[in-house]
């Protein structure tokens, strides 16, 4: 089945404690695509990513990765299947230097970038190899967070708002990085609020509202759907 | 006779030596507590009882299996550490999502049960454990007489603390441990089996307590209350050093042992309380401890 999606999320529901956050999320990601989840604050975008990784308390529905059901798996087992997560808050560890942060995730498969390749993509990280991770600038921390998961051999990367709070010049740099990652054959699921940025990197966009996917817009049709998108996102 | 500050040098250095030996035990025990607290967020009140089990295991190995001190130094930590792994899996792991108080109460209960069981079988008067032949005798250093075994205890504790520090601060396993202390779910999402790491960390912390117990067996009589005598002081050491701080535990453990020893020379009445006085001062001036990070 050459066209079977790499990631197929069907009727996904999630809870934080008693709070029911996702109410049946459906979408898919094909291998080699960059797909974004767009939506207002509180739409359930980050929870969707955390649900895929097994980082929420309770999940129901189906998450199939390369045909295998992973909805009941622990986060480490999800990661071992080949999915890597870069959280919104970047998750740089204060007690680890840049190199230690970079080398922290174990290699889970062949095909990850070697350290030389990573330093070519992110030269700043090499210059600051021995600095504590949290002493880097926001942009450098974001680069480190992305670089860290490129090493592992995971082929599906979940990037949660990688441009949040960054200067426009750094946002452009992140955009270039995501395009390079795509060119290297990685598949990317991206959570974004900034749809202008998303339009520069993505193939398709899913729009989320109130814990559901309410629309899918191919990037090529974004211009025609701009009015609708403005309504969805309230911009 | 050489005098220092009006005190005979052998007396001063003798007490200082005792202080350093006590400090060695404080450091080893508080190090294990700090590792366990940092990783599991559990205040392990059973630590003193597990130290006592280390001493009893070495006694048992000698008396039931003919296995002497040197092998006991290796085997007792492994046996008691494995027991710690079982404790963590069966009981402690159920409490991670609850308030600290529940972990403290559970481990306090485990300590009472362990001490009670050992007291039932072996009584409370204490069992002798001979200093190994290689370490009997003493060295005349000129300014003091140093018993060989006490010198060995300080050396062994220092080496063990150093090894532990290197493992935690300079290896990839230690990096995973430090990262999991900061954000365990994220570390797990990288493909690292954090629950297993937590279990092994508890086992390692317990093994450190048992190692200290084996070192203590020839110095103190092996008795059910030997851990309880230490544990309150060790908690004070951990608070002073900073909860969860590895280096803080080591430096504070040795430092407070020396302070206690010197107090025994200059103001003997205060030697039992000096550590708690220091704890109160540190808590007032620096609540996160000397080496701890404020949250």
How far from the centroid of its chain's Cα atoms is residue A191's Cα? Answer: 6
Residue B204 CA: distances (Å) to CA of B56, B197, B207: 18, 10, 5
The rounded mean pLDDT for chain A is 92
Residue range B14-66, pLDDT digits in tens = 888 999 999 999 999 999 998 998 888 888 999 999 999 999 999 999 999 99
Yes or no, beta carbons of B172 and A103 under 8 Å apart: yes
The answer, for B247 touching chain A at a CB cutoff of 8 Å, is no
The H or E element containing residue B152 is: helix B148-170
The answer, for B179 touching chain A at a CB cutoff of 8 Å, is yes
Beta strand ranges found along chain B (DSSP E): 3-4, 7-8, 138-140, 145-147
State residue B140 phi and psi, 5-degree precision. -90, 110
Residue range A9-36, pLDDT digits in tens = 999 999 998 899 999 999 999 999 999 9
Q: Cα separation of B73 and B76, whole Å? A: 6
Yes or no, beta carbons of B186 and A79 under 8 Å apart: no
Q: CATH number, domain at A66?
A: 3.40.50.300
**Which pLDDT score is estimated for B291?**
87
The answer, for A97 touching chain B at a CB cutoff of 8 Å, is no
The answer, for B175 touching chain A at a CB cutoff of 8 Å, is yes
In a mutational test of the A interface, the residue from B96, B165, B179, B247 whose CB has the highest number of chain A CBs within 10 Å is: B179
A114-128, B177-191, B240-254: range with highest mean pLDDT:
B177-191
Residue A7, SS3?
strand
**Residue A1: inside a domain:** no
Instruction: Give yes or no for a contact between A44 and A211, defined as CB atoms under 8 angstroms apart.
Output: yes
* pLDDT: which is higher, A53 or A195: A53
Residue range A30-71, pLDDT digits in tens = 999 999 999 998 999 999 999 999 999 899 999 999 999 999
Yes or no, beta carbons of B189 and A95 under 8 Å apart: no
Give the pLDDT band (50/70/90) at residue A2: low
Structure letter (DSSP) for residue B268: G
**Residue A197: inside a domain:** yes
Residue of B nearest to A90 (CA): B186
Query: What percent of chain A is modeled with pLDDT above 70?
Result: 99
The answer, for B182 touching chain A at a CB cutoff of 8 Å, is yes
Structure tokens belonging to residue A164: 């949040």
**Residue A2: inside a domain:** no
The answer, for A106 touching chain B at a CB cutoff of 8 Å, is yes
Q: How many residues does chain B have?
A: 295
**Residue A21: inside a domain:** yes
In a mutational test of the B interface, the residue from A77, A80, A82, A91 whose CB has the highest number of chain B CBs within 10 Å is: A91
The alpha-carbon gap from B192 to the nearest alpha carbon of chain A, in Å, equals: 5
**Which pLDDT score is estimated for B293?**
67
Whether residue B1 is predicted with pLDDT greater than 60 in this model: the reply is yes
Q: What angle (nearest 5°) sits at the alpha carbon of residue B190, between those of residues B186 and B195? A: 70
Instruction: Give yes or no for a contact between B190 and A105, defined as CB atoms under 8 angstroms apart.
Output: yes
The answer, for B97 touching chain A at a CB cutoff of 8 Å, is no
For residue A90, give its domain range. 7-233
The answer, for A55 touching chain B at a CB cutoff of 8 Å, is yes
What is the rounded average pLDDT of the residues B87-96? 93
Q: Cα separation of B154 and B233, whole Å? A: 18
Yes or no, beta carbons of A76 and B178 under 8 Å apart: no
The alpha-carbon gap from A90 to the nearest alpha carbon of chain B, in Å, equals: 10
Yes or no, beta carbons of A55 and B172 under 8 Å apart: no
Give the pLDDT band (50/70/90) at residue B294: low
Which residues of chain A neighbour B175 with C-beta distances below 8 Å? 96, 100, 103-104
**Which pLDDT score is estimated for B192?**
96
Whether residue B167 is predicted with pLDDT greater than 60 in this model: the reply is yes
Which residues of chain A neighbour B181 with C-beta distances below 8 Å? 95
**Residue A141: inside a domain:** yes
Residue of B nearest to A76 (CA): B191
The alpha-carbon gap from A155 to the nearest alpha carbon of chain B, in Å, equals: 13
Yes or no, beta carbons of A95 and B172 under 8 Å apart: no
The answer, for A16 touching chain B at a CB cutoff of 8 Å, is no
The alpha-carbon gap from B295 to the nearest alpha carbon of chain A, in Å, equals: 13
**Residue A41: inside a domain:** yes
Q: Report the number of distinct structural domains present in chain A.
A: 1
Yes or no, beta carbons of A75 and B188 under 8 Å apart: yes
Structure letter (DSSP) for residue A72: T
Q: Which of A23, A18, A80 lies closest to A54, judged by CA?
A: A80
Q: Which of A148, A182, A145 lies closest to A161, judged by CA?
A: A145
In a mutational test of the A interface, the residue from B189, B193, B248 whose CB has the highest number of chain A CBs within 10 Å is: B189
* pLDDT: which is higher, A141 or B141: A141
Whether residue A1 is predicted with pLDDT greater than 60 in this model: the reply is no
Residue range B249-262, pLDDT digits in tens = 899 999 999 999 99
**Residue A43: inside a domain:** yes
Structure letter (DSSP) for residue B15: H
Yes or no, beta carbons of B178 and A95 under 8 Å apart: yes
Structure tokens belonging to residue B30: 């508080």
Q: Cα separation of B89 and B47, whole Å? A: 16
Within 10 angstroms of residue B71's Cβ, the number of other Cβ atoms is 14
């Amino acid at each position: 089945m050459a066209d079977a999606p790499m990631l197929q999320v069907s009727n996904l529901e999630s809870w934080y404690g008693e709070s029911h956050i996702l109410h049946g999320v459906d979408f898919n990601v094909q291998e080699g695509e960059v797909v974004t989840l767009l939506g207002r604050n509180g739409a359930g975008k980050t929870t969707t990513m955390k649900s895929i990784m097994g980082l929420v308390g309770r999940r129901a529905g189906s998450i199939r990765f390369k045909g295998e059901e992973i909805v009941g798996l622990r986060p480490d087992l999800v990661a071992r299947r080949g999915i890597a997560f870069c959280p919104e808050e970047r998750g740089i560890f204060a007690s680890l230097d840049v190199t230690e942060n970079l080398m922290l995730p174990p290699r889970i498969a062949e095909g990850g970038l070697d350290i030389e390749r990573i330093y070519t993509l992110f030269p700043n990280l090499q210059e600051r190899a021995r600095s504590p991770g949290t002493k880097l600038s926001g942009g450098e921390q974001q680069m480190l967070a992305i670089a860290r998961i490129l090493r592992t051999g995971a082929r599906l990367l979940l990037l949660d708002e990688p441009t949040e709070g960054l200067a426009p010049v750094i946002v452009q740099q992140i955009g270039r990085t995501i395009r390079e990652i795509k060119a290297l054959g990685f598949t990317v699921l991206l959570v974004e609020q900034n749809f202008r940025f998303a339009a520069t990197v993505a193939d398709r966009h899913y729009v989320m509202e109130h814990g559901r996917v309410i629309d899918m817009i191919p990037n090529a049709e974004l211009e025609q759907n701009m009015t609708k998108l403005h309504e969805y996102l309230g911009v | 006779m050489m005098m220092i500050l009006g005190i005979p040098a052998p007396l001063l250095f003798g007490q200082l030596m005792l202080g350093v030996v006590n400090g060695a035990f404080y450091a080893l025990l508080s190090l294990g507590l700090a590792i366990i607290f940092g990783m599991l967020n559990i205040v392990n009140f059973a630590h003193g009882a597990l130290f006592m089990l280390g001493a009893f295991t070495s006694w048992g190995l000698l008396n039931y299996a003919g296995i002497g001190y040197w092998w006991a130094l290796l085997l007792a930590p492994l046996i008691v550490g494995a027991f710690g792994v079982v404790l963590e899996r069966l009981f402690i792991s159920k409490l991670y999502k609850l308030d600290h108080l529940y972990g403290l109460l559970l481990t306090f209960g485990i300590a009472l049960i362990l001490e009670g069981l050992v007291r039932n079988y072996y009584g409370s008067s204490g069992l002798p454990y001979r200093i190994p032949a290689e370490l009997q005798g003493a060295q005349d250093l000129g300014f003091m007489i140093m018993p060989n075994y006490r010198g060995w205890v300080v050396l062994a504790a220092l080496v063990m603390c150093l090894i532990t520090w290197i493992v935690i601060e300079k290896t990839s396993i230690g990096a995973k441990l430090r990262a999991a202390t900061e954000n365990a779910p994220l570390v797990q999402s990288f493909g690292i089996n954090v629950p297993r790491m937590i279990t092994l960390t508890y086992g390692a912390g317990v093994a450190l307590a048992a190692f200290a117990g084996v070192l203590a067996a020839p110095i103190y009589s092996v008795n059910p209350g030997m851990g309880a005598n230490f544990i309150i002081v060790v908690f004070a050491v951990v608070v002073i050093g900073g909860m969860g701080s590895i280096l803080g535990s080591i430096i504070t453990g040795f430092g407070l042992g020396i302070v206690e020893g010197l107090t025994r020379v200059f103001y003997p009445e205060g030697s039992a309380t000096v550590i708690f006085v220091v704890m109160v001062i540190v808590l007032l001036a620096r609540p996160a401890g000397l080496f701890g990070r404020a949250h």
